[in-house]
A and B are shown apart, each in its own frame.
Chain A
Amino acid sequence: MAELRFTKDHEWIRLEGDVATIGITDHAQNALGDVVFVDLPEAGREVAEGEACAVVESVKAASDVYAPVAGKVVETNAALVENPALINSAPTGEGWFFKIGGVDAAAVAALMDEAAYAAFVDELA
């Protein structure tokens, strides 16, 4: 499986071919707490890099989720609508948010790798 890349807004992205899967990091789900609702983008929507395109809400707070790279939404995780707690239990697995097609591999490669993201999170603490 392709390696994960990370943003400063605490999304992760995994590129396979030209389709990228996107979710929020373990650090992000832990900071949010128990997730109770998620609003996902419509399939077919064109998103720009850094565009707010999903919302995740915990008992306490609401947070935007941004597209780490530009592309077109090709699929969203229907399982989250029924069971948003998957974001807490499996943030980088079953808790994925949406997939974007037509992604520029170079834009993904330019994001932080796991070590850089871990260092970034450490700095926040």
Chain B
Amino acid sequence: MADTELLETPLASLHRELGGRMVPFAGYAMPVQYPAGIMAEHLHTRAAAGLFDVSHMGQAELIGEGAAAALEQLTPADVQILKPGRQRYGVLMTETGGILDDFMVANRGDRLFLVLNASRKHLDIPAIEAVLPAGVKLRPLPDRALIALQGPGAVPALATLAPGVASMKFMDFAEHEIAGVACLVSRSGYTGEDGVEISIPAEQAEAVAKALLALPGVMPAGLGARDSLRLEAGLCLYGNDLDETTSPVEANLVWTMGKRRRTAWDFRGAERCREELDNGPKRLRVGIQPEGRQPARGHTPVQVAGEVVGEITSGGFGPSVNAPIAMGYVARGAAADGTALELLVRGKALPGRVAPLPFAPHRYAR
């Protein structure tokens, strides 16, 4: 794809100023890394704070009486129980019990605020609109940027500009003024670290990003570090670890399904989920630890005793664990922690094992 066909985020000129190496991602030109490199950006995020532009992700709000109940037709998450000022992670379902997308939903009191994947928002939006009753409206917010500030230093640094952020807990959602700009802040992220995601009106995004980058300990970090951080944290990437063929049960995302929802089974694709919970899914998403130093990447076939039992869906090198790491789907019989695996990398069978996730412990502000 030529650069001219790619969309840009409101921070495009800042990325160039910072020396970001721009690559196509989900139709956007995004920085894969800055001059420091993926390794340094990753390690800095775990030690201090990394600033990520995630403005390519879809933001939207759902307004009107019954918005939560309407959204529940598409997701097994309990949205109605979500209190004002709280956010949660969930999946949107296909008719056949696959995953249409994974997403965040926050209760803003008078509306729901959604964050969708860049590569899926064009499918999510019509799917949501199709289930809305009269009086509930979905409003995409293309004029907002989204910045993730992640790492143990993120909130202490941000609190010097917006003191109220310090008392937020993991998955709290609130409006805060940052550098004179009204922003929507959630204490969440996708790195396994404490931190925040900040939704900002597009025209003020660069000013806010620059104010954050000026804080002590904050370094810009690209998509490359975001990918290695989320893999160490055992978090799924849509398109790699989740797709329309994988169910939330197979994906080990049963925890995103509300208890009430697992009694009522009143969401799209519920039949498959119910059957898999009753009888066990055919395959399961697991962590995979290759032995030695060689990474095993996505699409690597996984064998047990010479027989293919699955495939790696995300794999690479974990800078914080200082070893190759991966996740993927294996047959249920091969999913127990410690199961010996053979990973077929370039025709050679590398030894590996099923490993508990996450590879790097979560450090959320619970």
- Please report the C-alpha to C-alpha distance between residue A57 and residue B228 in the assembled complex, in whole angstroms: 14
B321 to chain A, nearest CB (A): 12
B46 to chain A, nearest CB (A): 14
- Tell me, in angstroms, the Cα distance from A57 to B319 when the chains sit together: 13
Instruction: Say yes or no: B317 contacts A37, CB within 8 Å.
Output: yes
What residues of chain A lie closer than 8 Å to B324, measured between beta carbons?
36-37
Cβ-based interface call for B86 (8 A): no
CB neighbours of B38 from chain A (8 A) = 33-34, 58-60
Contact residues of B between 231 and 279, Cβ < 8 Å to A: none
Closest Cβ of chain B: how far from A37's Cβ, in Å?
A: 5
| A34–chain B nearest beta-carbon distance, Å | 4
Shortest distance in angstroms between A26's beta carbon and chain B's nearest beta carbon? Answer: 14
Indicate if A39 sits at the interface (CB-CB under 8 A).
yes
What does DSSP make chain A's interface, helix, strand, loop or mixed? Answer: strand
Question: At the interface, is chain B mostly helix, strand, loop or mixed?
Answer: mixed
Question: Given the complex of chains A and B, what is the CA–CA distance between A29 and B32 in angstroms?
Answer: 16
Q: Please state if A62 and B37 are interface contacts (CB–CB under 8 Å).
A: no
Query: B301 — which chain A residues lie within 8 A by C-beta?
Result: none
Q: Is residue B167 contacting chain A, with contact meaning CB distance below 8 A?
A: no
CA distance A34 to B294 in the complex (A): 14
Q: Is B6 an interface residue (CB 8 A)?
A: no
Is residue A55 within 8 Å, beta carbon to beta carbon, of the partner chain?
yes
> Closest chain A residue to B316 by CB distance?
A59
User: In the bound complex, what is the Cα–Cα distance between A34 and B39 (angstroms)?
Assistant: 7
Name B317's contact: one of A39, A55, A57 (CB within 8 Å). Answer: A57
Where the two chains meet, the residues of B that have a C-beta atom closer than 8 Å to any C-beta of A are 32-33, 37-39, 42, 224, 227-228, 293-295, 297, 316-317, 319, 324, 346
